Structure 1
């Protein structure tokens, strides 16, 4: 929700930052890889109880995840491979955090299984609608907005890192948010394809 609603306000700022990065000669794909690396290290730091470092690395990963697309659009380097890398690497980062939580907190494993199931449900709809729809967005495919998007994911992961005693509460609330997002996306898909 925040990604979609705030985009119009924050994108000019990201474009300015992207122009600075363009001067470094880093390609959008290289920055996508940096986002992946920082995200993986975030999950490693989380596992080793270095929550503040994990938190910082997670948000650096998210920052690069936004900047790569901005650079690609500004320089005309948007590509299907870049979009594929972005989607897959984002999921690897999220999987890394969830695996770290599962390895650290045995009591949260069942909640994390429901969380993963809800992510599979919601993201399956997201990808299928993106592939089947004729609609386009500024991204490489049709982007279905929803209650739980990337920023909400980072916020929930951050809350779990900062308040681990409330981990199951946050995980379960996030699972409900993702299920609701999946329902939103399915309803939109019904309106698009159900005629």
Structure 2
């Protein structure tokens, strides 16, 4: 929801950053790779009980993830960049979940359920994007929903900062993912008639 509704607030800074990286000679795919490497380190920092560093690298990778998309649209980068971007996003999320699961093994059950809900929500999201004739500014139809990447990062951040409430926050995250999946299925039934 925040990615769709609030992007215009940070858009000038994103464009400036994209232009800076392009002037430095970086490609969108290179920034995607940098974001991935930085992002997956968050799970290690969680596991080694370094929550502040974990948060910093998670959010910085998320910022780079937005910038790489702007760069790709400015330079008409190939669709392979989209594949890298979307798949690397999931690996960053998996890294956070694994870091939490191994740091707090008593919470593995809820993190497993959360993982399943994210997999299903992304399956709906990507399938609708693939079969829809609608196009947005991205290379596929981006179906908005309650849980987008920023909401996920906020909930992951709360789990990292407040591990004593990890199960409760993960259950809220699970409910948000389930709601978003149902919301996107309902939207899909209307746009894919």
TM-score (norm 1): 0.96
Superposition RMSD in Å: 1.0
Deviation at 1:12, TM superposition (A): 2.6
In 1, distance between residues paired with 2:72 and 2:105? 41
Deviation at 1:188, TM superposition (A): 0.6
- Counting only pairs closer than 5 Å after superposition, residues 8-47 of structure 1 correspond to structure 2 as 8-47=8-47
Do 2:100 and 2:160's aligned partners in 1 also have CA atoms closer than 8 Å? Answer: no
In 2, distance between residues paired with 1:71 and 1:189? 29
- Counting only pairs closer than 5 Å after superposition, residues 170-181 of structure 1 correspond to structure 2 as 170-181=169-180
Partner of 1:164: 163
Deviation at 1:103, TM superposition (A): 1.1
Partner of 2:65: 65
Deviations 1:158-193 (A, max 9, x none): 111111111111100000001000001000111122
In 2, distance between residues paired with 1:129 and 1:76? 23
Partner of 2:136: 137
In 1, distance between residues paired with 2:76 and 2:124? 29
In 2, distance between residues paired with 1:16 and 1:73? 14
Secondary structure, aligned partner of 2:6: helix
In 2, distance between residues paired with 1:133 and 1:32? 25
1:120 equivalent to 2:122? Answer no
In 1, distance between residues paired with 2:43 and 2:98? 8
Deviation at 1:4, TM superposition (A): 0.5
In 2, distance between residues paired with 1:108 and 1:137? 38
Partner of 2:106: 107
In 2, distance between residues paired with 1:94 and 1:58? 9
In 2, distance between residues paired with 1:51 and 1:7? 26
In 2, distance between residues paired with 1:102 and 1:69? 30
TM-score (norm 2): 0.97
Unaligned ranges ≥5, structure 2: none
In 2, distance between residues paired with 1:110 and 1:75? 43
Deviation at 1:157, TM superposition (A): 1.1
Deviations 1:92-126 (A, max 9, x none): 00001111111111221111111111112211111
